[in-house]
Structure 1
Amino acid sequence: MSNPDRRQAALDYHAKPRPGKLGIAITKPFTTPSELALAYSPGVAEPVIEIEKNPDDAFKYTSKGNLVAVITNGTAVLGLGRTGALASKPVMEGKAVLFKKFANVDVFDIEVDAPDADDFIETVKRIAPTFGGINLEDIAAPDCFYVEQALSDALDIPVFHDDQHGTAIIICAGLLNALSYQGKTLEQARIVCVGAGAAGIASMNLLQALGADANNIIMCDSKGVVHSGRTDLNAQKQAFAVDTDLRTLEDAMSGADVFIGVSGPGLVSQAMVQSMAPKPVVFALANPTPEILPEEAHAVRDDLIMATGRSDYPNQVNNVLCFPFLFRGALDVRSRSINHAMQIAAVHAIADLARQPVPEVVKDAYDAPELSFGPEYILPTPLDPRLSDFVSPAVAAAAVDSGAARSEYPAHYPKR
């Protein structure tokens, strides 16, 4: 299909036969006068009275416990930049569809015309009682760090910026498996990350929580290595400033075990890949054009494990492996947050799933009869039906064990 054809197909998909990708369904009988009296006045007054007395009863009598806000201010939409709130709506609807399809989580997509971070925070705080969780989406750095922290501090429901932590969870799961296959450890790996925005910083923070040595991490931004001599660093970058003579990405990649790119197209040359340590791992995740194409990297290294953000190459780093099932687990125990323990549990669950025998239904879906753990399969595929069985229970257990949960580990989950 040519690009013009694909563009028109995408527009037609969103426009026909009914605009948009979402609708609302009624979940209770509503066909008789008595049912009308229960659904609205006078019957609706009874749960109002109970919730006023005990706010947690909102989880019992309303849809709050299975309802997430996918919410943005449109300041960093896909790779398109500051499109504004209204133009971001197709993306938010798409995210909502993924929540519903993969984990049966209901979503209201909300686009807020508030490019100022404090205005946005105030809006989300005011509407938060409606929801069991908040998924922040497509908010530009560095505001995204401030927004997430402020809302996490203010609210008693999970607040999760998927562009940060969802990406980080999948990167970490894939990297644990890739390093293991290459015979290396996270604790000893020399890691280079290009892209010091939301995804890069969250990924490096989570890798450290998993055991990576901060002294072995080199962060690069558009001006080169983030080092202690620079005076132009924000607080998030400053945390990764190291005392080093390295100044360029090319310098940093020499002898590195791992490259993680969450930046832009074509930033890595074949010579840079050649200069890496034996058995390197390259995650070139810029979309749609990665920092280096897999065929270019494989042409100069036959001992390489490679991942991208694209579905037409092996080892796609795709957030849909995480966020629906992460929220499912959090909602099922009425968690107050999505904390580090829950994120780490998700990392290990996703990594473990990739090591299991792949069912025929997945092989058939991807026309890959030989699909198994190895250099071209370090992460599960998005259509693997077992993700909910692995990730959601692990997250729910971590929420209970860490004290974030309001309720017990669900009886319908696998026994712990």
Structure 2
Amino acid sequence: MAETVSTPHLVIEDEEIFDAHVGGKLSVELKSPLDTQRALSIAYTPGVAQVSRAIATDATLAKRYTWANRLVVVVSDGTAVLGLGDIGPSASLPVMEGKSALFKEFGGLDSIPLVLDTKDPDEIVETLIRLRPSFGAVNLEDISAPRCFEIERRVIEALDCPVMHDDQHGTAIVVLAALLGATKVLNRDMASLRLVISGAGAAGVACANILLAAGITDITVLDSKGIVHRERDDLNSFKAELAERTNPAGRTGGLAEALDGADVFLGVSAGVVPEELIATMAPNSIVFALSNPDPEIHPDIAHKYAAVVATGRSDFPNQINNVLAFPGVFRGALDAGARRITEKMKVAAAEAIHSVVGDDLAVEHIVPSPLDPRVGPAVAAAVAAAVDEDED
């Protein structure tokens, strides 16, 4: 008997899932048919030699006469894949293929997955430097923390093209968009919120950074050992730096101490939050339980106490999904010829996602659906405009 993947609204047979992945999910399609001798002579030898000679004389022509300028590579070492952990490059490839498919569907961008059989940051950076003529942007994906911070920083420094670790910044962008929606529908001042982030990995750090930039000053971050604070002597350099910029009240302890009276819970870890702790949050609270496939607290339970609840799952209202952000972010950056993806561009993307909801804003509709065709173009336009402002 076939196994099933079950949700409250959806049952998918195991066989159907595997059948959809047979042979992978990607293929290369021709822009023009090669059905005549003339077409073959233009696309390949001898005609292609003229294009190659022209590029050899003027390297900037590669942007016009190859796909590299608008090709996104989705790069992973398979060390932090979904909720599966360190499963290696081959097992991560189906996920990266899916990411490339999303780039095409929601951003209109060609993309290829590139999984690397190494965990060495030096080797990963060097590989991308050597491959730079083949692509126009880098989406880093599913690389474990804290290595992901160093790798992203070094790749950005080494390459003259847009680079973004989506597990960090894609998540942060959509979280900010969702919080803009939640606070608007509840008529609350975002800057006055007391916010708790469970998880100090890639997503948690990036969410803290973008929410601090958005004006929230009272943010408490927790890792597996409790509240991240200045007096702890077991923090790595990234958490120690974060401790200097968060937890202004100097809270110590664990989740119970952090959540007592808090306005917002943001879960980006694989932990579990007991119902009794959510019950201690402030009235009109907001719960974003984003762990997949199992949220930190079930939405039905969170709804007993919170005014707005969101998850990362498609079978509950308010899905906070990175697909709302990354296709449009990269499309806008490439359209504008940006060399970097800046904080201003990320905030612009969040505001664009929020704007798409418009008059449909409700407690169960704080972000648009990932399938809403307006999202990608709106994000791309906002990001491209932000690039122009930065260059001015």
Same fold, TM exceeding 0.5? Answer: yes
Give the deviation of 1:28 after TM superposition. 2.8
- Corresponding residue for residue 373 of structure 1: 361
User: Which residue of 82, 85, 91 corresponds with 1:87?
Assistant: 91
- Corresponding residue for residue 224 of structure 1: 226
User: Which residue of 249, 252, 255 corresponds with 1:249?
Assistant: 255
Secondary structure of 1:59's counterpart equals helix
**Superposition pairs for residues 296-311 of structure 1, below 5 Å?**
296-299=301-304, 301=305, 304-311=307-314
- Corresponding residue for residue 238 of structure 1: 240
Deviations 1:52-81 (A, max 9, x none): 343332111111132110111111111111
Q: What is the root-mean-square deviation of aligned Cα atoms in Å?
A: 1.7
**AA of the residue aligned to 1:73:** D
- Corresponding residue for residue 269 of structure 2: 263
Moved more, 269-278 or 163-172: 269-278
CA–CA distance in 2 between the matches of 1:193 and 1:102?
Answer: 29
TM-score, normalised via structure 2 length:
0.93
**AA of the residue aligned to 1:224:** G
**AA of the residue aligned to 2:337:** R
- Corresponding residue for residue 290 of structure 1: 295
CA–CA distance in 2 between the matches of 1:343 and 1:12?
Answer: 37
**Superposition pairs for residues 146-225 of structure 1, below 5 Å?**
146-213=150-217, 216-225=218-227
Give the deviation of 1:114 after TM superposition. 1.0
- Corresponding residue for residue 387 of structure 1: 375
CA–CA distance in 1 between the matches of 2:40 and 2:377?
Answer: 38
Percent identity over paired residues: 46
Query: Are the aligned partners of 2:26 and 2:101 in contact in 1 as well (CA < 8 Å)?
Result: yes
CA–CA distance in 2 between the matches of 1:175 and 1:127?
Answer: 38
Query: Are the aligned partners of 1:132 and 1:334 in contact in 2 as well (CA < 8 Å)?
Result: no
Count of aligned pairs: 381
**Superposition pairs for residues 339-358 of structure 1, below 5 Å?**
339-356=342-359
Give the deviation of 1:353 after TM superposition. 0.9
1:3 aligns with 2:4: yes
CA–CA distance in 2 between the matches of 1:348 and 1:54?
Answer: 39
CA–CA distance in 1 between the matches of 2:238 and 2:123?
Answer: 22
Q: For residues 54 and 210 of structure 1, do their structure 2 counterparts lie closer, same or farther at Cα, with a shift above 3 Å needed?
A: farther
Query: Are the aligned partners of 1:71 and 1:134 in contact in 2 as well (CA < 8 Å)?
Result: yes
**AA of the residue aligned to 2:123:** D
CA–CA distance in 1 between the matches of 2:256 and 2:32?
Answer: 61
| Structure 1 unaligned regions, length at least 5 | 357-371, 405-416
Query: Are the aligned partners of 1:218 and 1:240 in contact in 2 as well (CA < 8 Å)?
Result: no
1:324 aligns with 2:331: no
User: Which residue of 41, 44, 56 corresponds with 2:48?
Assistant: 44
Moved more, 332-341 or 1-10: 1-10
CA–CA distance in 1 between the matches of 2:25 and 2:157?
Answer: 33
CA–CA distance in 1 between the matches of 2:347 and 2:303?
Answer: 31
Secondary structure of 1:79's counterpart equals coil
**AA of the residue aligned to 1:132:** G
Structure 1 runs of 4+ aligned residues shifted over 3 Å read: none
TM-score, normalised via structure 1 length:
0.88
CA–CA distance in 2 between the matches of 1:334 and 1:67?
Answer: 13
CA–CA distance in 1 between the matches of 2:251 and 2:314?
Answer: 38
